[in-house]
Amino acid sequence: MTVTSQYLPLMPPGVYETIQVPRGYLNSLHTQMAVEGFSELFVSMESEEAMVVVRQNPTTMESYVLVARSYYKQNAPTTGLNPVKLPGVISAVELISQLSIRDWNFVQDRNEVNGYQGWLECFSNLTKFATISRS
């Protein structure tokens, strides 16, 4: 299946140096799901590097699906990642993003909470991450 405009994410593409804009977007989405009755949550480890989180409306059976891949420097795959197969029909894509680490040399700050320095890049289509097909 070709990725068409219906699969363009609703989060604006771009590079975000802080998580404020994406976090605000995700908080709004979380609130919207709660208001619309998406009250059931299911979590599944699909593989060593992939987790699928499904938030479902028990009345309509509609779902929001989060596919998260953990990719760390020390366990970087030498070949392609395993595919994640999802049942159902995709009606929209809310967010496509990748978190990148600028420097893997972490230094703890004793005065405030800190972490690795990096950025979040939001993309305008799925081509870098996925293909959509029906079997």
Report the percent of the chain where pLDDT is more than 70. Answer: 79
The residue that leads in pLDDT, 16 or 129, is 16
Helix (H) or strand (E) holding 56: strand 50-56
CB distance 123 to 13 below 8 Å: yes
The band of 21, judged by pLDDT with boundaries at 50, 70 and 90, is: confident
- pLDDT tens per residue, range 75-120: 555 566 677 777 788 777 777 888 877 777 878 889 988 887 888 8
- What is the per-residue pLDDT for 69? 80
Distance of CA 122 to the CA centre of its chain: 10
CA pair distance 81, 67, nearest whole angstrom: 13
Interatomic CA distance for residues 15 and 44, integer angstroms? 29
Provide the edge-to-edge strand list for the sheet that holds 97-101: 14-16, 118-122, 97-101
Q: How many CB atoms lie within 10 A of CB 16?
A: 17
Report CA-CA distances (Å) from 102 to 12, 71, 109, 115, 120: 22, 14, 17, 11, 11
- Residue-range domain boundaries for the chain: 5-122
- At residue 8 the predicted structure's pLDDT band, cuts being 50, 70 and 90, is very low
